[in-house]
Structure 1
Amino acid sequence: MGRFTVHGSLNLDIQDRILMIDGCGPWNLEAVNEAYSRFKPLVESLYGSPWASLITFSGEPIYVPDAANYIIKTIKHERRMGHVASAILVDGSNSPEFAKRHLSELHTKAGDTFRFFSDKEQAAWWLLQKITAAQIV
């Protein structure tokens, strides 16, 4: 079987122990693998102290089944490495309600603490509260 073309894009940055993820989907396993290997050193720089993710989706924010399973495994791994919560914005997506159902399923299966937001500043504030609470424990 040949290699599939990468579908979807992801860009990452870090601000105040928050991993900022901007993605345009849909994503296949090849896109997720490429993004993870490209951004692995950036993500690993957060390990050792509580951190969180602010995820902004556009396009069709869905993962094919192989990519979805990979995301679930990745979230579980990141939680063991200090990840405390995910704030998700899907209002820029083509189908926000479907996106919420799909992403809720993935984050729930991964045991993640997550919430959907329509405002990036409120999302960041919520994440900072989660990070601070985890540092106190």
Structure 2
Amino acid sequence: MDKDRFSAHGEVHAHYQSAQRILHIDLVGPFNFEFMQKYERVVGVQRKTIDTPCWGSLVNVYGLALAPIEAINAGQQIVSKAVALGLVATAVVLHESEGVAMQKKFWSRVYDSSTLAFEYFDDTAQATQWLCERVLAWQQAHNVNQFNNARR
């Protein structure tokens, strides 16, 4: 192993729920730059299965979701790529009560650089409802039939 490279810190799991058009992502932090590469490998596989022009992501964050600046930069690139593939909104559910303000600051730095609608939630059900509303609003604004699965 290259001694200048670290192993990924953090866990990521993802699955796409086509009925709701939501990509569910579960993260356990803290993270490092190498984690962002792992994230892209895991989540990228799921993104490739999405065959709709718009969708949302529900990010459940467990543990302290903090990372160094290079991980923030990598996160911004990942978000830009996802938006180009049809991501219209992200709901972030922070399950760790410790350091919520710092965690929101981290995630805002990732998302503020994009046009992506994002919101923080304490509850997964509320986050899901908000995402469904954002996806539906995008579909209506762009005259996309829910059965139109044309890829962007």
> 1:35 pairs with 24, 29, 39, which one?
39
Does residue 101 (structure 1) correspond to residue 82 (structure 2)? The answer is no
CA RMSD of aligned residues (A): 1.5
More helix by share: 1
1:85 match: 89
SS at match of 1:76: helix
Q: Describe how 1:5-16 pairs up with structure 2 within 5 A.
A: 5-15=7-17, 16=20
Residues 57-96 of structure 1: CA deviation (Å, up to 9, x unaligned): 1111012211111110110111111100000111325311
Determine which structure has more spread, i.e. the larger CA radius of gyration: 2
1:58·1:93 contact (CA, 8 Å) conserved in 2?
no
1:130 maps to which residue? 134
Distance 2:88 2:54 in 1: 6
TM-fit CA distance, 1:21:
0.9
Q: When the two structures are superposed, what TM-score results if normalisation uses the length of structure 1?
A: 0.91
Once the two structures are TM-superposed, the CA of residue 41 in structure 1 deviates from its matched residue by 2.2
AA in 2 matched with 1:19: L
SS, match of residue 66 in structure 2: strand
Are the counterparts in 2 of residues 90 and 96 from structure 1 also a CA contact under 8 Å?
Answer: yes
Q: Any gaps of 5 or more consecutive residues in structure 1? A: none
| Runs of 4+ displaced beyond 2 Å | 91-94
Contact 1:58 1:94 in 2 (8 A): no
CA deviations 1:33-72 (Å, max 9, x no partner) are 1231133221122254110111111111012211111110
Alignment-derived partner of residue 66 in structure 1? 70
Q: Which runs of 5+ in 2 are unaligned?
A: 143-152
Tell me the TM-score normalised to structure 2 length.
0.83
More strand by share: 1
Report the secondary structure of 1:109's partner residue: coil
Which residue of the partner structure matches residue 4 of structure 1? 6
